[in-house]
Structure 1
Amino acid sequence: MSKYFKWAELPARKDIYTYDGTRRWGNHDLYPIPKKERVYGYMGYYSYYLVSGISITGFSMGSAYVSAGLSAQETIGAVLVGCVCAALNACLGVQVGLDKSLGFTMSTRTTYGLYGNLLPLFTTLLGNLVFAGIQAYYGAQSISLIIGAVIPAYANMHNTLPASAAITTRDLISFFIYWALFIPVVLYIPMYKLKTFMFPSITMTAATLLGVLGWIIKENGGSTDPLITSPVKVSSMNRSFLFLQCVFSTAAVWGGSGDRLSDWSLVGTFTTTAFYSKYGTVLWTPLDMLAFIQETHYAPACRAGTFFASIGLLTSLIYINIVQNTLSFGMDFASVLPKYILMKRGSMIVVIVSIACNPRRFLTQAVVFVEVFSGFTIFATATVAITNTDYWIIRRRKWKIPDLYQRDGIYWFWHGISWRAIVTWIIAVIPAFPGFSMSMQGKTDGVAHRIYQMSFFVGYPIAVCTYILINKTWSPEGLGIAENLQELPEDGEIIEGSIPENLSESEKDVGIVEVKQDKTVDM
């Protein structure tokens, strides 16, 4: 079959890692990040996580639970607890990037095997598709507000689509305008150069969200009393488990940016309750609120305000969709077909597919948003628990990196599959899966759904304990071996799998390899 797709094969990079070029198990985007592309400093990484929290999704995380039935105080507490858990989990997960200059995709290879990692990657790729589509729909709403603020005819465009389409004619046009703006950024700006756009995005988005909060509090008379009242009434039991679900979904989904997310979920919580108190309408995204304002107060000042606010939100939506969804999808999908897929090609695939997946239906109600947001996390929880346990406890931060790219290495396990990780993943997912299935059918009562609502605190410890037990009983091959790939800045050649004799034991423990010669050593 490969001869028919020869035209699609990726050319080998000639500047780095030329020892093997593009092959069945590796390409430029899957090898350790070269030194010349490691341009993110402390502030760059901090800003990356910060921009993930200062976002519409971060805003909506709190407001969606207020709309679903929690009070403002309960939502703030739940999101705060979830963010603490997420930040701790993130600290464990990011260490592999600091040590090896590799990411999540390679972590799944060390635990699940070169073929077995398709299981966690499938659930991750599916989540990227859905959330890329959701961010694109938000982007379409932003563009509708921007154009509508300037052109009244666009704001009042007659809808020719049926209700079953779950989108208006105006927003559908804006949807494709969004992608027309988005695609050139993906194609022509490398990921390591995106940090240039982070600071403007953070500033504009933060100003917009705080501006919406300040405006609605002013409209509400400046009183704080209505902010603590839940607009939706639920039973005490349901409220308790909804609280746990808020903690769990925050902890599982926002592991990367949990340390700052709570601040902006708090803004969303206050804004939603104040908006309900003033207008009697439960709206849980800032775009819906801006659309409501533009529709009911179409005056020059209102049009100017919604115009600039929507531009601020649009910059955030484009940036987050690139780094959190499309490029993440591209990197993970590159692991499936390294000979043909780089991050950019994978990113274009997610653009095409997410247009067709109709994510707009997930945003029709806050309850649906909560269930979709929580659903993917039962699988992510098991995967992250296994990869963290493997890296820190089982392998003690020692990887044989050359074996990540070859069939006969220690990560080949059994026919490319690690039964230890697969069995652990299934055991960790099983308790929450019946409740997840029930929630997709609209059934939210019963013990199974309660377990699903707190599945992070059920699945994570089950995965950790099970994985440790299995690996201590049946130890995998290659524990304690640390080998790196290293590049030579002068000519780009590689020494593969060689450890100089003059390294200290601490350097060997974390796999640090100092290149002492200018030749390639084949394994």
Structure 2
Amino acid sequence: MSGLRLRTLKEKIQLQGDGNEHEQVDSWSNRDLIPLPPSRRTWGWFHYFGYWTLNSLNISNWQTPNTFLSYGLSVGQSMMVIVVGKLLVTFFSTLIAWCGLRWHIGFTVQNRFTWGLRGSYIPLMQRVLLNFIWCAIQCWNGGRLVAVCITAIWPSFAKMHNTLPSSMPTTTYQFIAFVLFWIFSVPFLFVRPEKFRLPFLVTSIYCGLGMLSMMIWSLSVAKGVGPLWTTGQHIPETSSWNLHWLEMKGINQIIGGIAAGITNGSDFSRYARAPKHYVLGTVLSAWVTGVLVSLVGLVVTAACQKIYGEVYWNPPDLLMRMMDSGEGSSKARAGVFFLAAGFALTGMFENVCGNAVAGGIDLAGLFPRYLDIRRGAILTFVAVWVCQPWQLVNKAATFVSVLSSFSVFLSPIMGVMVVDFYLLRKGRIQLSHLYRTRDTAYWYHKGVNWRAIPAWICGWAPTIGGLVVTVGGTSSPPRSLVKLYYMAFLVGFFVSGTVFLLLNLAFPCTGLGEYEKVDVYETFTPREAANLEVVTASEPQVLDGVESDPVDNKMESGTVVEKSL
């Protein structure tokens, strides 16, 4: 009886797909994993501008100059590091995302032709873990902004009696604000990625205007900027590192800080109406807006230094100071409320898009029969409570530092992806082979491409030692280890890519450079089909001068025609 109930429950919660739209649901496929048809590719340049703006109009990007000034770099040198770092972010983002632009598949499926269908779980599990933890941390940081908003309305909120036990490293008002941020974020989970234009539009305009307003106000009140703006290079003579190594460290931090978003770039690039939309939106926002936000943060902090006599890099702290912790005038509190609301709204949707939705896509790859993007995003958000971010942020500073340095493991994954797609396969893959275990070039040995595993390990092995000694606070760490860690992203990327290339040259795979002449999923527009020289599954084909019958477009037929360009 219990077995029958279990089967009935499984049938009820199993996803359903439209067979006419090739939305078969099985162990490898569902509606959100198949190549996106043209009808679902709705993102134009502004969608990508908004997507990357979410990564730019945030607190961490605002505070970026502070990190480099603390190293001893001058203001000019810090901004130069930011410009170069953001340019490299734009380059690597486009490089990784091109597979999604051409073949309209996401990171989850993209790794199947590189790692093997089962082997793809290795990078996928890393992404799932990161999504869970970062989503939790972002919810907690967003709660701080909600606390500012509430304090602006009811000043007594920040002074309420703490009723939480001493074992919880937080206060009642902080925890309430965190809960409210989590609740306010939930409705965004039900918005499909195809419909993200309006949230992108609202958050970009609101937060962008808020940041500009802060800069105009601070410069007007201060009538200039404080000493921070003219900070020169002051690397201590006792420092073990010269200028160039500190600049390299900064560039590596900028790329590494967004490595998780770069790795799964194809999850969102596949929604593009055309590649030009992705490139234009990414350049304008990931590079231009990203640099401008850091500059605005620097200007505002320098001006407020002149106003308050202290340096406030953290916007929630600065906003609290601007309204004197709620004791300021009603005008000050009203202004702070709208500014904090802008930061909070942007952080809310950034978390949903960059962590929850991305986590939903990754979880859909692990459990295609039962999880789609929406269910996976909800599960990622529920996992916030399991992660207990109040413990991570307020106590485990070392853990957060390790999490920020996770690019040590992600950049080797990217190196393998790039070499496989561009150099070995020449940008050609067999789409239908990514969704079955029989008669496929991507099953390798028991579903795992063994070549990818040692290549990935070789990428992070040289830099993991530097991560350990740096995060652990070793007083006199070996310089060679730390130097490798300062170049962790580039070292991991190129070492893993090179090893993977050599292994494939020594032990070549079958099917490299081949693609399907038949558009089984009806994925491509007429122009794309013409450029790729493919026909839809319902069209007759002419092979060696003989017209053949239309190809059955159901996956069960397994009928494919391959051609090497």
Note the C-alpha offset of 1:307: 0.5
Residue in structure 1 matching 2:249, options 245, 250, 262: 245
**TM-score w.r.t. structure 2 length?**
0.81
* 1:289 and 2:318 matched: yes
For structure 2, the 5+ residue unaligned runs are 266-281, 540-549, 559-565
What is the SS of the residue equivalent to 1:482? Answer: strand
Aligned to 1:389: 419
Quick check: 2:37–2:522 contact (8 Å CA) kept in 1? Answer: no
Q: Comparing 100-109 with 40-49, which one deviates more in the overlay?
A: 40-49
Note the C-alpha offset of 1:203: 1.0
In the TM superposition, what whole-angstrom CA distance separates every residue of 1:480-499 from its partner, at most 9, and x where no partner exists?
Answer: 22127857xxxxxx579x9x
For structure 1, the 5+ residue unaligned runs are 488-493
Residue in structure 2 matching 1:196, options 195, 198, 202: 198
Equivalent-residue separation in structure 2 for 1:230 and 1:367 (angstroms) = 29
Q: Comparing 119-128 with 392-401, which one deviates more in the overlay?
A: 119-128
Q: How does 1:229-308 map to 2 (within 5 A)?
A: 229=231, 236-238=239-241, 240=243, 241-254=245-258, 255=262, 258-260=286-288, 261-276=290-305, 279=308, 281-296=310-325, 298-308=328-338
Aligned to 1:159: 162
What is the SS of the residue equivalent to 1:24? Answer: coil
Question: In the superposition, relative to structure 1, how do residues 355 and 283 fare at CA in structure 2: closer, same or farther (>3 Å)?
Answer: farther
One-letter code aligned to 1:476: C
Aligned to 1:453: 486
Quick check: 2:15–2:370 contact (8 Å CA) kept in 1? Answer: no
* 1:441 and 2:472 matched: yes
One-letter code aligned to 2:177: S
Equivalent-residue separation in structure 2 for 1:35 and 1:71 (angstroms) = 49
Note the C-alpha offset of 1:294: 3.0
Quick check: 1:60–1:265 contact (8 Å CA) kept in 2? Answer: yes
Equivalent-residue separation in structure 1 for 2:302 and 2:241 (angstroms) = 20
Aligned to 2:211: 209
Equivalent-residue separation in structure 2 for 1:406 and 1:480 (angstroms) = 19
In the TM superposition, what whole-angstrom CA distance separates every residue of 1:458-501 from its partner, at most 9, and x where no partner exists?
Answer: 212212221211112211121122127857xxxxxx579x9x9x
Question: In the superposition, relative to structure 1, how do residues 306 and 400 fare at CA in structure 2: closer, same or farther (>3 Å)?
Answer: same
Aligned to 1:490: none
Quick check: 1:231–1:273 contact (8 Å CA) kept in 2? Answer: no
In the TM superposition, what whole-angstrom CA distance separates every residue of 1:160-180 from its partner, at most 9, and x where no partner exists?
Answer: 346663322111011111111
What is the SS of the residue equivalent to 1:200? Answer: helix
Q: How many residues align?
A: 508
Question: In the superposition, relative to structure 1, how do residues 245 and 359 fare at CA in structure 2: closer, same or farther (>3 Å)?
Answer: farther
Note the C-alpha offset of 1:421: 1.1
Aligned to 1:507: 532
Aligned to 1:491: none
Q: Comparing 384-393 with 9-18, which one deviates more in the overlay?
A: 9-18
* 1:432 and 2:463 matched: yes
Q: How does 1:43-58 map to 2 (within 5 A)?
A: 43-58=46-61
Quick check: 2:47–2:197 contact (8 Å CA) kept in 1? Answer: yes
Note the C-alpha offset of 1:282: 4.7
Aligned to 2:405: 375
Question: In the superposition, relative to structure 1, how do residues 513 and 442 fare at CA in structure 2: closer, same or farther (>3 Å)?
Answer: farther
* 1:102 and 2:133 matched: no
* 1:475 and 2:508 matched: yes
Residue in structure 1 matching 2:128, options 116, 125, 130: 125
Quick check: 1:68–1:367 contact (8 Å CA) kept in 2? Answer: no
In the TM superposition, what whole-angstrom CA distance separates every residue of 1:348-379 from its partner, at most 9, and x where no partner exists?
Answer: 22112223323346656998698346411111
Note the C-alpha offset of 1:45: 2.4
Q: How does 1:406-417 map to 2 (within 5 A)?
A: 406-408=436-438, 409-417=440-448
Quick check: 2:411–2:492 contact (8 Å CA) kept in 1? Answer: yes
Note the C-alpha offset of 1:236: 4.3
In the TM superposition, what whole-angstrom CA distance separates every residue of 1:146-190 from its partner, at most 9, and x where no partner exists?
Answer: 121111221322233466633221110111111111112203x21
One-letter code aligned to 2:297: G
Quick check: 1:33–1:102 contact (8 Å CA) kept in 2? Answer: yes
Residue in structure 2 matching 1:342, options 372, 380, 387: 372
Quick check: 2:522–2:537 contact (8 Å CA) kept in 1? Answer: no
One-letter code aligned to 2:315: P
Which protein is bigger by CA-based radius of gyration? 2
One-letter code aligned to 1:248: N
One-letter code aligned to 1:113: G
Note the C-alpha offset of 1:331: 0.3
Q: Comparing 198-207 with 37-46, which one deviates more in the overlay?
A: 37-46
What is the SS of the residue equivalent to 2:516? Answer: coil
Note the C-alpha offset of 1:389: 1.6
Question: In the superposition, relative to structure 1, how do residues 369 and 252 fare at CA in structure 2: closer, same or farther (>3 Å)?
Answer: same
Equivalent-residue separation in structure 1 for 2:138 and 2:198 (angstroms) = 21
In the TM superposition, what whole-angstrom CA distance separates every residue of 1:225-265 from its partner, at most 9, and x where no partner exists?
Answer: 43132799755444744432221122244346532322212
In the TM superposition, what whole-angstrom CA distance separates every residue of 1:4-45 from its partner, at most 9, and x where no partner exists?
Answer: 861564232226544x62100111111112322211123322
Q: How does 1:219-238 map to 2 (within 5 A)?
A: 219-223=221-225, 225-229=227-231, 236-238=239-241
Aligned to 2:76: 73
Equivalent-residue separation in structure 2 for 1:514 and 1:520 (angstroms) = 5
What is the SS of the residue equivalent to 1:115? Answer: coil
RMSD between aligned residues? 3.1
Q: Comparing 230-239 with 105-114, which one deviates more in the overlay?
A: 230-239
Aligned to 2:547: none
